C-alpha cells in the first residue's frame, strides 16, 4: 500500500504565533518556517530555538527555517496535490505588504496543485478599517484559484508551542482549504473546527482584544470579578452587534472565535491586551507601555472598530470608553463611571440563534 504524501506547509512569519503553528504543523507536515531576519532563521535551524519570541521552548529538530522568501514559496508550490498550505503569521499591520510580496512570488512560481493561504492576524486595518479577508482578497484578486481562509480561536502561542491542548476554527469558503488546514494541524492536542463565516470569525477576533483591554482596566482598578463578568457579557453583545452589521452570523459569536476567544483574552495572564489595560489602570501612559515592547492588537484596532460602529450606527459603549482612555486622556475610573451612568434598559440575549 502506498503511503500518501505528507502535506507541505510554509509558515511566513517567525514571531511567537507563527513559530508555534510551525511547531504544531511539523508533526503532520513537511514544514518550512520563513523568518525575515537571517540571524533568526539560523538560530531557528541550528539551535532549534526562538529566544526572542518563545524563550524556553525547544523546537522540533525536523522543523526547517529559512530567510529566503522564494524558497519558502517553492516549498509548497512544488506539491502535486491539494495539501499545500501557506500560513501567514504576521499582525494586521504587516498583512498587506506580505500578501503583495506573496502574490508577486506566486506569479513567478505558480503552484502545481491547489494552494491554500490562511492568515492568523486579528484586528482591523487602522487606516482603512478593512478586515484581514478584505486585504487578502484585494492582494490575490488576480488569482481566483487560491483557497483563502482565516485561522482563529482561543489560543496563546506559548501553550501551543508547549504542546498543550487547543481548539481552533478555520473559516473559509473553500472546502479544500478547510481540509488542507485539518490535515496539517488537526490531531493529538489540536482540534480544528470548520466554518464558512469569515466575517464573524474576524470580527470576534478583533473586538475581543478591545474588550480584553477593558477587562484589564477593571482588574487594574480592583473592581472585582462581578465587573469583569459584566464586561465580558456586554462585550460579547458589542462583538455580535458589529459582526451582524458587517455580515457575520450570530451563532459564530457563541463559539470558539467569539465567546471562547473573548474569555481567554479577557482573563488569561498571558493576554497582552489585558496587560495593557492593567498597566493603564495603574497610571502608566500608553506610549510608555508600547515603548516597553508590550504590543497589543486591541490598541491598534480600537479606533477603527469605533469608526465602523458609527458608520453602521451600531452602539459600542465599551469600545468607545476604551478609546477615550487610550487616546483622549480620560481617567480609567471616569470611563467606568460613564459606563455605569448609562440609562437602564432591557437586556436582550447577547447571542441570537
CA end-to-end distance (rounded Å), the chain: 47
Q: Which of 197, 298, 273 is nearest to 240 (CA)?
A: 197
For the chain, the 3-state helix, strand and coil shares in percent, each to the nearest 5, are 50, 15, 35
Catalytic site includes residue 324: no
Cα 101 from Cα 169, distance rounded (Å): 26
Cα 188 from Cα 196, distance rounded (Å): 24
- Report CA-CA distances (Å) from 218 to 212, 227, 276, 295: 10, 7, 11, 19
Q: Which residue has the cell 458589542?
A: 238
Which of 208, 284, 285, 324 is catalytic? The answer is 208
Q: Which of 141, 90, 150 is nearest to 118 (CA)?
A: 150
Q: Count how many residues are written for the chain.
A: 353
Cα 163 from Cα 173, distance rounded (Å): 29
DSSP H or E stretch at residue 51:
none
Q: Report which DSSP code applies to 63.
A: -
Cα 47 from Cα 49, distance rounded (Å): 5
Cα 348 from Cα 306, distance rounded (Å): 22
Q: Which of 208, 196, 210 is nearest to 133 (CA)?
A: 196
Strands 166-172 and 147-152: antiparallel
Backbone Cα Rg of the chain: 20
Q: Which of 307, 331, 337 is nearest to 319 (CA)?
A: 307
The grid coordinates of residue 156 equal 496563546
Catalytic residues: 208
Amino acid at each position: 500500500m502506498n503511503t500518501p504524501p505528507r502535506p507541505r506547509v510554509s509558515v511566513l512569519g517567525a514571531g511567537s504565533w507563527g513559530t508555534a503553528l510551525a511547531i504544531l504543523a511539523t508533526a503532520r507536515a513537511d514544514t518550512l518556517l520563513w523568518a525575515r531576519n537571517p540571524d533568526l532563521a539560523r538560530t531557528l535551524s541550528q539551535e532549534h530555538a526562538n529566544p526572542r519570541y518563545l524563550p524556553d521552548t525547544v523546537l522540533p529538530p525536523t522543523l526547517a527555517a529559512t530567510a529566503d522568501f522564494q524558497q519558502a514559496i517553492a516549498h509548497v508550490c512544488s506539491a502535486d496535490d491539494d495539501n499545500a498550505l501557506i500560513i501567514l503569521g504576521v499582525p494586521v499591520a504587516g498583512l498587506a505588504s506580505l500578501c503583495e510580496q506573496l502574490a508577486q512570488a506566486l506569479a513567478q512560481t505558480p503552484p502545481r496543485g491547489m494552494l491554500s493561504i490562511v492568515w492568523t492576524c486579528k484586528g482591523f486595518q487602522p487606516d482603512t478599517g478593512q478586515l484581514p479577508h478584505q486585504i487578502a482578497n484585494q492582494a490575490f484578486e488576480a488569482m481566483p484559484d487560491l483557497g483563502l481562509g482565516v485561522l482563529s480561536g482561543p489560543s496563546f502561542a506559548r501553550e501551543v508551542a508547549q504542546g498543550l491542548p487547543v481548539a481552533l476554527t478555520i473559516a473559509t469558503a473553500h472546502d479544500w482549504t478547510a481540509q488542507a488546514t485539518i490535515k496539517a494541524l488537526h490531531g493529538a492536542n489540536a482540534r480544528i473546527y470548520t466554518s464558512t463565516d469569515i466575517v464573524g470569525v474576524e470580527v470576534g477576533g478583533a473586538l475581543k482584544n478591545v474588550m480584553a483591554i477593558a477587562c484589564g482596566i477593571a482588574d487594574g482598578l480592583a473592581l472585582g470579578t462581578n465587573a469583569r463578568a459584566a464586561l465580558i457579557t456586554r462585550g460579547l453583545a458589542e462583538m455580535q452587534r458589529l459582526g451582524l452589521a458587517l455580515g457575520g452570523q450570530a451563532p459564530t459569536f457563541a463559539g470558539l472565535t467569539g465567546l471562547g476567544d473573548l474569555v481567554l483574552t479577557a482573563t488569561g495572564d498571558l493576554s497582552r491586551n489585558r496587560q495593557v489595560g492593567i498597566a493603564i489602570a495603574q497610571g502608566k501612559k500608553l506610549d510608555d507601555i508600547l515603548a516597553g515592547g508590550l504590543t497589543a492588537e486591541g490598541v491598534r484596532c480600537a479606533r477603527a472598530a469605533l469608526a465602523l460602529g458609527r458608520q453602521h450606527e451600531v452602539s459600542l459603549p465599551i469600545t468607545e470608553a476604551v478609546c477615550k482612555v487610550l487616546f483622549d486622556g480620560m481617567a480609567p475610573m471616569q470611563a467606568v463611571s460613564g459606563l455605569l451612568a448609562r440609562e437602564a434598559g432591557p437586556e436582550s440575549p447577547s447571542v441570537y440563534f
